[in-house]
């Protein structure tokens, strides 16, 4: 099969690889019809995630058609059209039994702190991902779901991470009616988090970024007020003034490890890898939320330490809530919202590329060229 | 103002928000939110086992020493090999996830892996090509200059030095290793 492969920091290409095979009785093999490049793929692409091996195929957002099933698979049959959550999970370990489906203990021998994730390095279990023609899908009776006939692939693929993660991030904020919610980052996850904050009854939603075309998307797609942090002297003071000097009730960090806005933090965290990521956005969240407020973190960070302002967080009595999204838990409710016309995930898609253009696709997304917000990868297309 | 008990007024009423934003307030009740409460034991997963069957370990599989056993399911992509494999094997065997050495060794092994694989590619019909693999051709096709010139992007300030920052420490480290090997060889002569 043909697949995207990592060749070292900032380098990817398409190669012929052996087809994936059934390695466990509850495995399936899925033929990918549509995949996506995620902002967190850029952390791998930039060489930030430990144990990212040359030859690895990225891609944790994908949908496709079941090509093969293992001997114990009961819930799927060959030919089913499925969406696959980015989390690989067993359904019965201590954590899965409590609904913590993104924290499964039975799928990642390389680390106990991280669950299993498709195409996300050996730190997340060493599974090749879905930016390929075929992919191995473990625990096929647990993870994938059949896609409803009425849902196009382009919407379904965004439910496998970006849309579900943004929706989950808003839930982490414990938003109450009338809350002022600040979302840091106007990438796909931030846009979905902002849109989701309204579903939860937010009274005001403010999205912060430094890229104008993404802020425009925040206004048109997420109906949010926007702030370009490059145009204000001090973002924290700006947000304090904008909230009557109180601070936001909830701040959502939808940026993660490669945050810009402070040169020292960006260089030491994102470029020199001396931190588990650049905590600029997280520190802005701590400083701009009100005392007693909630900070929701679902921006991705690496496993080593970051210079986070914990003293301010303690002194302000903040609740900091975190996790990778347990994606499949979000689906029934999100499907209702989509059917009701509250949300159309594919509205954020800006680019569609064949698998052969994967290197240009990564560079375009990484360098934020051509108004790129979300790129879909279509393995079956020339 | 926070100096008095009342919250600053919002610019729009709930009715105005509901009229402007599709689905406003649909999940106002936390009970309607799929991740509330965070831990639940009543969710259907589709699993029909108590403990999953063990995936066969056809080759020795490295694992975190914080795990009591090899997990029932694991990825088999890119097994350990070469010098990078030896470094990774040591990182997993010697240090827990709580130790910085674990992660720093894995990052170092990633760079060794990149060099190993880059050199090995020259012995194949498909040597690495930095022009096509970095995707820089997108600069021309996807409005590289114009995209960067638009607006107030803060990354413009450091994009020129990014390649030096990313590659510099590794080039310096490689030069240091070369100097040490050179000095050692002179001393042994």
Measure the N-to-C terminal CA separation of chain B; round to a whole number of Å: 78
Residue B179 phi/psi, 5-degree rounding, is: -65, -40
Burial of B175 from C-beta contacts in 10 A (0-12 / 13-18 / 19+): exposed
Domain with A190, as residue range(s), is 162-322
Higher pLDDT, A272 or A327: A327
Select from A306, A322, A338 the last residue of a domain: A322
The greatest distance separating any two alpha carbons of chain B, rounded to the nearest whole angstrom, comes to 86
Do residue A31 and residue A135 come from a single domain?
Answer: yes
Q: For A127, which DSSP code?
A: B
Do residue A288 and residue A353 come from a single domain?
Answer: no
Do residue A278 and residue A177 come from a single domain?
Answer: yes
Find chain B residues with C-beta within 8 A of A222's C-beta: none
Do residue A275 and residue A286 come from a single domain?
Answer: yes
Residue ranges in chain B assigned as alpha helix (H): 14-20, 82-94, 100-121, 130-133, 138-141, 144-149, 156-159, 162-188
Spatial contact of A121 and A44, defined as CB atoms under 8 Å apart = yes
Do residue A313 and residue A180 come from a single domain?
Answer: yes
User: Quick one: tokens of A201?
Assistant: 């009854």
pLDDT at residue number A243: 97
pLDDT at residue A34 tops 80: yes
pLDDT at residue number B53: 98
Find chain B residues with C-beta within 8 A of A126's C-beta: 74-78
Select from A276, A299, A322 the last residue of a domain: A322
Spatial contact of A258 and A286, defined as CB atoms under 8 Å apart = no
pLDDT at residue B166 tops 80: no
B131 near A CB under 8 A? no
Spatial contact of A300 and A323, defined as CB atoms under 8 Å apart = no
Rounded CA separation A125/A104 (Å): 11
pLDDT at residue A270 tops 80: no
Q: For A348, which DSSP code?
A: G
User: Quick one: tokens of B93?
Assistant: 């065997």
- % residues pLDDT > 70 (chain A): 100
Rounded CA separation A231/A143 (Å): 43
Please compute the mean of the pLDDT values over residues A126-140 and round it to a whole number.
98
Rounded CA separation A342/A167 (Å): 13
Per residue in B100-150, pLDDT tens?
Answer: 999 999 999 999 999 999 999 999 999 999 999 999 999 988 888 888 888
Do residue A177 and residue A277 come from a single domain?
Answer: yes
Which of 84-113 (A) contact B at CB < 8 A? 88-92, 96-101, 105-113
Rounded CA separation A248/A236 (Å): 10
- Domain of A254, CATH number, reads 3.40.50.720
Do residue A157 and residue A222 come from a single domain?
Answer: no
Q: Which residue out of B28, B138, B140, B160 would a mutagenesis test of the A interface target, given it has the greatest number of A Cβ atoms within 10 Å?
A: B138
Do residue A151 and residue A174 come from a single domain?
Answer: no
Find chain B residues with C-beta within 8 A of A260's C-beta: 154-155
pLDDT at residue A334 tops 80: yes
Rounded CA separation B114/B106 (Å): 12
User: Quick one: tokens of B104?
Assistant: 């720093």
Rounded CA separation A197/A177 (Å): 10
Find chain A residues with C-beta within 8 A of B46's C-beta: 75, 91, 141-142
- Domain of A144, CATH number, reads 3.90.180.10
Do residue A169 and residue A316 come from a single domain?
Answer: yes
Rounded CA separation B139/B46 (Å): 46
| Closest chain B CA to residue A48 | B107
User: Are β-strands A87-88 and A116-117 bridged in parallel, bridged antiparallel, or unpaired?
Assistant: antiparallel
Which of 50-109 (B) contact A at CB < 8 A? 50-53, 55-56, 61-64, 66-67, 70-78, 84, 88, 92, 97, 100, 103-104, 106-107, 109
Rounded CA separation A225/A205 (Å): 6
The greatest distance separating any two alpha carbons of chain A, rounded to the nearest whole angstrom, comes to 62
pLDDT-derived band at A155 (thresholds 50, 70, 90) equals very high
Do residue A318 and residue A338 come from a single domain?
Answer: no
Find chain A residues with C-beta within 8 A of B133's C-beta: 7, 11-13, 359
Which of 37-56 (B) contact A at CB < 8 A? 38-41, 43, 45-53, 55-56
Handedness of CA A42, A45, A47, A49 (dihedral sign): positive
Total domains in the fold of chain A: 2
Do residue A306 and residue A338 come from a single domain?
Answer: no
Distance from CA of A34 to the nearest CA of B (A): 21
How many Cβ atoms are within 10 Å of B148's Cβ, its own excluded?
16
Distance from CA of B61 to the nearest CA of A (A): 8
Do B74 and A108 lie within an 8 Å CB cutoff? Answer: yes
Burial of A309 from C-beta contacts in 10 A (0-12 / 13-18 / 19+): middle
pLDDT at residue A302 tops 90: no
Rounded CA separation A247/A126 (Å): 42
Q: How far is CA A249 from CA A182, A203, B7, B50, in A?
A: 8, 10, 10, 42
Q: pTM (2 decimals)?
A: 0.95
Do residue A226 and residue A302 come from a single domain?
Answer: yes
């Amino acid at each position: 099969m043909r697949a995207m492969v990592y060749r070292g920091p900032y380098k990817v290409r398409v190669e012929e690889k052996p087809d994936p095979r059934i390695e466990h009785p509850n495995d399936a093999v899925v033929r990918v019809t549509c995949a996506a490049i995620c902002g967190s793929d850029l952390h791998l692409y930039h060489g930030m995630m430990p144990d990212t091996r040359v030859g690895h195929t990225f891609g944790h957002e994908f949908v496709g058609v079941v090509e093969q099933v293992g001997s114990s698979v009961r819930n799927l049959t060959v030919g089913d059209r499925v969406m696959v959550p980015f989390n690989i999970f067993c359904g019965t370990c201590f954590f899965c039994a409590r609904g913590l489906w993104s924290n499964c203990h039975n799928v990642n021998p390389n680390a106990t702190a991280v669950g299993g994730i498709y195409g996300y390095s050996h730190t997340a279990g060493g599974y090749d991902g879905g930016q390929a023609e075929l992919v191995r899908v473990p625990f096929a009776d647990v993870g994938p779901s059949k896609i409803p006939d009425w849902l196009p692939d382009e919407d379904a693929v965004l439910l496998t991470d970006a849309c579900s993660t943004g929706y989950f991030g808003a839930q982490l904020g414990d938003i109450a009616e009338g809350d002022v919610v600040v979302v840091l980052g106007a990438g796909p996850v931030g846009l979905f988090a902002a849109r989701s904050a309204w579903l939860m009854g937010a009274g005001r939603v403010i999205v912060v970024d430094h890229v104008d075309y993404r802020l425009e998307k925040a206004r048109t797609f997420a109906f949010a007020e926007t702030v370009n942090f490059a145009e204000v002297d001090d973002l924290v003071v700006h947000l304090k003034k904008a909230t009557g000097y109180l601070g936001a009730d909830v701040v959502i960090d939808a940026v993660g490890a490669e945050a810009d806005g402070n040169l020292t933090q960006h260089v030491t965290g994102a470029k020199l890898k001396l931190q588990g990521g650049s905590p600029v956005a997280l520190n802005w969240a701590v400083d701009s939320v009100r005392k007693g407020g909630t900070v929701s973190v679902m921006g991705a960070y690496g496993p080593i330490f970051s210079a986070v302002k914990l003293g301010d967080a303690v002194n302000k009595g903040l609740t900091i809530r975190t996790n990778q999204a347990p994606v499949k838990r979000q689906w029934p409710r999100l499907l209702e919202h989509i059917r009701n016309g509250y949300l159309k995930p594919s509205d954020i898609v800006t680019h569609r590329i064949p698998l052969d253009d994967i290197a240009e696709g990564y560079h375009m997304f990484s360098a934020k060229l051509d108004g790129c917000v979300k790129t879909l990868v279509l393995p079956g297309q020339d | 103002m926070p100096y008095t008990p009342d919250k600053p007024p919002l610019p729009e009423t709930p009715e105005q928000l509901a009229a402007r934003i599709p689905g406003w307030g649909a999940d106002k009740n936390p009970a309607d939110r799929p991740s509330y409460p965070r831990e639940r034991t009543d969710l259907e997963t589709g699993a029909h086992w108590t403990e999953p069957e063990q995936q066969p370990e056809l080759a020795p599989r490295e694992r975190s020493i914080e795990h009591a056993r090899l997990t029932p399911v694991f990825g088999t992509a890119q097994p350990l090999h070469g010098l990078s494999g030896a470094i990774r094997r040591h990182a997993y065997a010697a240090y827990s996830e709580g130790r910085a050495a674990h992660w720093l060794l894995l990052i170092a092994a990633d760079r060794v892996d990149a060099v190993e694989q880059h050199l090995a590619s020259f012995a194949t019909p498909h040597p690495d090509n930095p022009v096509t693999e970095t995707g820089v051709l997108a600069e021309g096709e996807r409005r590289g200059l114009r995209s960067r010139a638009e607006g107030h992007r803060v990354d413009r300030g450091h994009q020129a030095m990014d390649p030096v920052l990313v590659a510099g420490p590794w080039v310096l480290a490689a030069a240091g290793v070369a100097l040490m090997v050179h000095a050692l060889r002179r001393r042994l002569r």
